[in-house]
Amino acid sequence: MRLEELRFGTELIKRGFASMQKGGVIMDVVNAEQATIAEQAGAVAVMALERVPADIRKAGGVARMADPEKILEIMDAVSIPVMGKVRIGHFVEAQVLEALGVDMIDESEVLTPADEQFHIEKSKFTVPFVCGARDLGEAMRRIHEGAAMIRTKGEAGTGNVVEAVRHMRAIMGEIRALQGRSPQEIVDRARDLEAPAEILLETVKLGRLPVVNFSAGGIATPADAAMMMQLGADGVFVGSGIFLSENPERMARAIVEAVNHYDEPGIVAEVSKGLGDAMRGLDVHTLREDEVLQYRGR
C-alpha cells in the first residue's frame, strides 16, 4: 500500500476520533502527575492546561494557551489522547498546538477570546476541534465551521452544574421541538437560530447533533456527571471538580464509574460514598456579568 494513497484529517477521521471518546470522562490536568492520576482513574483523554478554570477565574488577567513545554510534559506522561485549549478565534495558537501533536483542540471560552467576531475556520486543520455551545444555534454554527465535537458550555470553574443543565436541556429540547416539523418550517427556524439550514435539517432527522456532544462546566460530583448523561450527553468534561476536591484520585474514579453506570442509581450511590468534600461551589448568580465565561463567543 502506498503512503500517498492515505488520506489524513478528513471529516470522517475527525468525527470518528470524537466518537471514540463516547461514554468517557475527559479531565483537566495541569501537570504530568495529575495526567497520570487521570489516566489511572480511567479518563479517556486529558485536557492539558496551565491552570484549571477555577484558578483562571481567580487569577484574572488574559488567559492564553498553555506553555508548549507543559503540554509536551503531559503528552509524554500518558498514552491516552491529550487535548489543549486555545483562545476563541486564535488560529495561530491552534496551529501551534497542531504542530506539537495534540490530539484535539478546544476553542474555549474559558480562555480570554482573541477575536470578537470570528471563530477559527476549523475545517482547515488536520486535528479535530471541540467547541462550546449554549444552545442549538451556537452548536450548528460551530459544526458548520468544522467542529468535530460540541461541548455544552456550562459555567466553568464554579462547581455549580446549573448552567450545564440549562444548556443541555436547551439543545436537546430544541431538537425534540423541531421533530415532526416540515422541512420548510425547519429552514425557517434555522433563520431565527442563525444556523445553517442544511446542518439543522440533518440534526432534526438524526434526532441528535450530528457530532458527539459532551457536557462541561460545573460538574463536581458523580451524581452531577450521571445527571448530564441522563439528559443526553455522550460523555463529560471535568475540570476543577476533581483536583480541587478533597481526594482527587477517588473523585476521579468515582466520576468515571458514575458515567459508565449513569442509569444505575445503586452504583452511583455506591461510588458517591465518603468522597470527602467536593470542590467549593460558586453560585452563578453572584458573578458579575464580566465574570461569566459562557457569554464569550456566539
Partner 1 sequence: MDVKIGVLALQGNVSEHIRAFEGALQEMGFPGERVVPLRNADQIPDLDAIAIPGGESTTISRLIDKNGMYTPLTEFGGGIFATCAGMVIIAREVDDPRVHPLGLIGIGVQRNAFGRQKESFETDLPVKGLEFPFHAVFIRAPVAVSHDPGVDVLARIDAGIVAVTSGKHMALAFHPELGTDYRLHRLFLENLGIF
From the CB of 266, what's the least distance to partner 1, in Å? 12
The whole-angstrom separation of Cα 108 and Cα 182 is: 35
- State the Cα–Cα distance between residues 138 and 135, nearest whole angstrom: 6
Could you tell me which stretch among 95-103, 137-145, 216-224, 277-285 binds partner 1 (CB under 8 A)?
95-103
Task: Name the segment binding partner 1 (CB under 8 A); options: 86-94, 149-157, 186-194, 255-263.
Answer: 255-263
> Does 273 engage in binding with partner 1 (CB under 8 A)?
no
Distance CA 41, CA 53 (A): 21
Among 19, 31, 112, 123, binds partner 1 (CB under 8 A): 19
Task: Indicate whether 138 belongs to the interface with partner 1 (CB under 8 A).
Answer: no
- Is 269 an interacting residue with respect to partner 1 (CB under 8 A)? no
Is 153 known to be catalytic? no
Q: How far is the CB of 9 from partner 1 (least distance, A)?
A: 7
CA distances from 37 to 30, 45, 213, 218 (A): 11, 12, 25, 20
Q: Which residue among the candidates 70, 85, 122, 153 is catalytic per the annotation?
A: 85
Q: Is 36 exposed, middle or buried (0-12, 13-18, 19+ CB in 10 A)?
A: middle
Q: Which is nearer to partner 1, 85 or 166 (CB)?
A: 85
Closest CA to 44 of 68, 67, 8, 19: 19
C-alpha–C-alpha distance, residues 229 and 90, integer Å: 31
C-alpha cell at 54: 477555577
* Contact criterion met (CB below 8 Å) for 240 and 53: yes
Among 29, 30, 45, 54, binds partner 1 (CB under 8 A): 45
> Are 85 and 47 in contact, with CB atoms under 8 Å apart?
yes
On the CB side of 165, CA atoms within 13 Å amount to 13
Among 61, 79, 283, 286, binds partner 1 (CB under 8 A): 79
Kindly state whether residue 210 participates in binding partner 1, applying the rule CB under 8 A.
no
- Cβ closest to partner 1, residue 189 vs residue 253: 253
Does 266 participate in binding partner 1 (rule CB under 8 A)?
Answer: no
Binding site residues, partner 1, CB under 8 A:
1, 3, 5-10, 12-13, 16-17, 19-24, 39-40, 42-45, 79-81, 98, 101-104, 126-128, 256-257, 260
